[in-house]
Structure 1
């Protein structure tokens, strides 16, 4: 009986060995699959893009590191109690704790933006390939414009937030071959992507932008949003008083003349266009911080600045930031 039991155990191990020999033991993380594994059909490509949009825009406004309703006058920090004001000249370096406890708060925005950019690159490669041969031109144009919009906004915030960025046109490039670019170059590239998207919407006025739940923006509405982001990024190029004076305000005004205004409404505004471009943001610990740069563009262009009920310029604004004298 013992002999038979040993034979059964031996046979079981032998069968297990044969099964394992025939298996592909390559590790696969089912929680984070390769994006290229879900790019086989148009419906899968669209689903990937919708999820990427949803994640990027929801995290865009929930970041504890950067408050996107602000630009040059925001307060950022990797510490819950130490501010990192960007309106100082020159800008202060990151005030981080030596233990790196809050490092993720700073790197998350980099990671999320480049995740959106590389996904956009993958989808654009599919659009330029054979997968979409049987799809209508409208379907391809709609997706391409949406992808370029996402890529431009993600790249724009890299230029606004960080001292250096990487312009990635091909997601297959290895890290050793990546070259850093200045914030100005990164923002200029972002504007190019946004302009490509605008050109598609201008040539196809029937296109919609509906890649986030409850959104159904017309080509005109999404173009207004694109123009608003473009103006924000161009203003965000300036990190010193001298750089501010050197900005191309004619170009900025040209975007703002066709940007969203106080009357702009739509579902889910906080996910996509920051609560109608509200220029005050509630920070941690219940304090308030008010951004000047959100109001500058409309003062320059004579447009009606989006406002929040109960907020105005009275009493007169004073600031240690000398640029305030130029703004008000």
Structure 2
């Protein structure tokens, strides 16, 4: 049976409003027309950059955010409640699940589409001898570097999200495709990003979207190293697996990474943070559409309950903390519970909403920063590497160089449990909605901090498995706790003694 992958070409960047979210029909590029003209070829490549970046701040991030207890809800719209309910639910990986296309389907389509488009560019240049001469300048190597980068980043996200996927190169026989493991995908990702770095030099420019800002070779190289650090440390599914990572290599990536935030400006209807648009929506009663999970307030104030009281007469008071980010990033809304339904579990309630990055219910505004990769994430990756190596003093130094000290004014004791607790705190608070769709979730899974039964990776979507006639399978649910793809809960954040 022929293996089939999603071949999607994003000549036009599709975006979605707060009120309606639809996945458009894939458009197959007219490759002959595009490749015949150098300017069109370059614009095709730029459109793929935009798609790759947009996929990192897409609607699909909501589900990872729920699984990581970053927000809470009882709202069943698009299956949101499925990812916040307790005990955790199994992923309904079946084509009868109308929400699967948003949950496991969207990243699969987006990132495989980016890979397909990058392969078109790579094939034209490397195998067909194509040259890209624009306004008298030879930008062939520039476009090739950009294509390898896009492909590597897309493969990195597939490695972090799914248990397996395809590795597709320009010369891959579509009739002989087989799934590769997430570790094999990571290796391919790192190799392709490394190739991109080697090709980026001189007057190199990586343009984020048509007529938009560009990265020079130095900044591009920093960003590329940052992604390699994110992927290399994020790939582990369990604490045991994380113990075997090469932290010296990850530190090498991080030390060559970003020295300032990569938050490029939005361009209305072309490039904006749809993940934040949904996550920060304010309801008429003052509640958040996606309320802040109790995990966050418990991290600020360990006396705060990990679950909301089930007694309907109890309204939790405001949390207290000496960290100013409690008030800078969150708002106490008392008994304004919005869409939360008591019949679906009052323990899921919250008296807080997230206000960091809030822009009057509209992230689709030109000029608003699109939070793709914060410098703080590099600080925390370094600190985590030092933690894993047992160098707690160096870990504290990295934490002190981050917003933990400069904004939160929080000190950390140089002891293993204290450093790990500080990392959980910072990843959950500082990186939430600042690092795209999956960072808090990948951090918690590699330290076994997810609730038992939480998925630690997605299965290949059932819609794909039906096409390939492979067996349909899934992950998640309390009955599967501790099995491959499902969190054991052995270091569940709710049971951690929060000392710093």
| TM-score computed with the length of structure 2 as normaliser | 0.48
Tell me the residue number matched to 1:192.
191
In 2 relative to 1, CA 79–260 (structure 1 residues): closer, same or farther, beyond 3 Å?
same
Tell me the residue number matched to 1:101.
98
CA distance in 1 between partners of 2:165 and 2:239 (Å): 22
2:148 is the alignment partner of 1:64: no
CA distance in 2 between partners of 1:84 and 1:43 (Å): 47
- Answer with 116-125 or 32-41: which moved more: 32-41
State the secondary structure of the residue aligned to 1:188. Answer: helix
- Answer with 292-301 or 224-233: which moved more: 292-301
- How well do the aligned residues superpose, as a CA RMSD in angstroms? 4.5
**What 5-or-longer segments of structure 1 have no aligned partner?**
1-28
CA distance in 2 between partners of 1:167 and 1:152 (Å): 11
Tell me the residue number matched to 2:160.
160
Tell me the residue number matched to 1:236.
234
Report the CA distance between 1:50 and its aligned residue: 1.4
Report the CA distance between 1:139 and its aligned residue: 0.7
Whether the aligned pair in 2 keeps the contact of 1:127 and 1:144 (CA below 8 Å) is yes
Quick check: which one's helix share is greater? 1
Whether the aligned pair in 1 keeps the contact of 2:122 and 2:147 (CA below 8 Å) is yes
Deviations 1:189-209 (A, max 9, x none): 1000000011112xx233122
In 2 relative to 1, CA 266–232 (structure 1 residues): closer, same or farther, beyond 3 Å?
closer
**What 5-or-longer segments of structure 2 have no aligned partner?**
1-24, 282-287, 300-375, 387-396, 412-420, 426-443, 450-490
State the secondary structure of the residue aligned to 2:79. Answer: coil
Q: 1:246 aligns with which of 244, 247, 264?
A: 244
Whether the aligned pair in 1 keeps the contact of 2:34 and 2:40 (CA below 8 Å) is yes
Q: Which has the larger radius of gyration?
A: 1
Tell me the residue number matched to 2:81.
81
State the secondary structure of the residue aligned to 1:150. Answer: helix
Report the CA distance between 1:43 and its aligned residue: 1.4
Report the CA distance between 1:130 and its aligned residue: 3.5
In 2 relative to 1, CA 178–114 (structure 1 residues): closer, same or farther, beyond 3 Å?
same
RCO greater where, 1 or 2, for CA within 8 Å and sep 6 or more?
A: 2
2:204 is the alignment partner of 1:210: no
Deviations 1:18-43 (A, max 9, x none): xxxxxxxxxxx996443344211211
Tell me the residue number matched to 1:110.
108
Whether the aligned pair in 2 keeps the contact of 1:61 and 1:67 (CA below 8 Å) is no
CA distance in 2 between partners of 1:272 and 1:233 (Å): 23
In 2 relative to 1, CA 169–134 (structure 1 residues): closer, same or farther, beyond 3 Å?
same
2:45 is the alignment partner of 1:49: yes
- Answer with 248-257 or 287-296: which moved more: 287-296
In 2 relative to 1, CA 266–158 (structure 1 residues): closer, same or farther, beyond 3 Å?
closer
Whether the aligned pair in 2 keeps the contact of 1:36 and 1:122 (CA below 8 Å) is no
In 2 relative to 1, CA 286–73 (structure 1 residues): closer, same or farther, beyond 3 Å?
closer
Whether the aligned pair in 2 keeps the contact of 1:63 and 1:109 (CA below 8 Å) is no
Report the CA distance between 1:288 and its aligned residue: 3.7
Report the CA distance between 1:177 and its aligned residue: 0.9
Tell me the residue number matched to 1:182.
181
Q: 2:224 aligns with which of 223, 226, 242?
A: 226
Tell me the residue number matched to 1:9.
none
In 2 relative to 1, CA 267–122 (structure 1 residues): closer, same or farther, beyond 3 Å?
same
Report the CA distance between 1:214 and its aligned residue: 2.7
Whether the aligned pair in 2 keeps the contact of 1:208 and 1:218 (CA below 8 Å) is yes
Tell me the residue number matched to 2:390.
none
Tell me the residue number matched to 2:291.
287
Deviations 1:158-192 (A, max 9, x none): 00000101100127632x41111110110111000
CA distance in 2 between partners of 1:30 and 1:219 (Å): 32
CA distance in 1 between partners of 2:272 and 2:193 (Å): 15
| TM-score computed with the length of structure 1 as normaliser | 0.70
Tell me the residue number matched to 1:11.
none
Whether the aligned pair in 2 keeps the contact of 1:208 and 1:219 (CA below 8 Å) is yes
Report the CA distance between 1:152 and its aligned residue: 0.5
